[in-house]
Amino acid sequence: MQSKACILTRLITLIATATLGVAVWFRSPSEFRMGVCIIVSVAAITLAVRSLFGGKLAWTLLFLGVLGVFAPFHRTQFSHSISSILDMATLALLAASPIIFGKATGPFVLKDPNGSLVITRH
């Protein structure tokens, strides 16, 4: 069950990263901005919940901040340069999320080719 949630989170993040990347690259018109905001907001909620359950409070607050910036139900009037900076920072954060949520919390076991146990870490 946990691996399915991980795959779903990565899929949502990939879709949001690709959508925001296309919006940044092609400077999408304002009529497409609502769709971009919805997709990024769904990814921000998903990543905030995952980081909250993972015990990463700082990342939870950061993803909630992204949700505040991209929330589709209110119109924030940032200048074009501030909006571009926020888009690029969010794009970098979404792209780095697989690294942030890597499987570093599990036990670490390293085996040599003969199958004998070499190093363990808990």
- Kindly report which listed range (8-22, 28-42, 66-80, 103-117) carries the lowest average pLDDT score: 103-117
Q: Which residues of 14-27 are buried (b: 16+ CB within 10 A; e: fewer)?
A: eebbebbeebbeee
- Please work out, in degrees rounded to the nearest 5, the angle formed at the alpha carbon of residue 34 by the alpha carbons of 51 and 24: 75
Residue 93's pLDDT is: 94
- Report the alpha-carbon distance of residue 51 to residue 65 in Å, rounded: 13
Which tops the pLDDT comparison, 9 or 28?
A: 9
User: Under 8 Å CB-to-CB from 56, ≥6 apart: which residues?
Assistant: 100
Give strand pairing partners of 108.
121
Confidence at 106, pLDDT banded by 50, 70, 90: very low
Which tops the pLDDT comparison, 115 or 44?
A: 44
Domain holding 65, by residue range, is: 2-121
Q: How many domains does the chain have?
A: 1
> What value does the mean pLDDT take over residues 39-52?
94
